Amino acid sequence: MIRKATESDVIKVSRLWIEMVKELSPNYEPNIDWWREQTRFLICNNKDYKLFVADDGGKIIGFIDFLLQLESARGKRCVFARHFYIKPEYRYKKRIAKELYETGIISGKEWKANLYMFLCQENEKEMWIKQGYSPGEIIMEKSL
């Protein structure tokens, strides 16, 4: 079942977030406390922040979160997905990934958004291109 998350779900979702980071970027050093604090703040204070979970009988097995925002440079209403993750053992069952992903699309359409954006790891780029996405901006980074 896909449902809107509550503040009380943040701890469980953060555990999935850690799994996601370890899987996609094993060299990162994630700070779960920061993620929890940011996510709680967004849930409680930003009506344009959405967090949905895939709940399998009380066990959260996946999530998607995103912001509905005005993308000024492009002059478009945008769904900016922050994170999208499903536990590996549930990825190909019951169309959970598709249902979670579609919550972002549906929310964006309800908000009259006309652009869906997200950060993508280099190793996932080809998969998303096959889904009809095209690379937009590239994020460059350098340690300080």
User: What is the per-residue pLDDT for 79?
Assistant: 92
- Rounded to an integer, the average pLDDT of 130-140 is 84
Question: Is pLDDT of 87 > 80?
Answer: yes
CB 103 within 8 A of CB 52: yes
- pLDDT tens for each residue of 15-34: 999 999 999 889 999 999 99
- pLDDT tens for each residue of 108-122: 999 999 999 988 888
Residue closest to 81 by CA, chosen among 50, 59, 55: 50
- pLDDT tens for each residue of 63-81: 999 999 999 999 999 999 9
> What homologous superfamily does CATH list for 2-130?
Gcn5-related N-acetyltransferase (GNAT) (3.40.630.30)
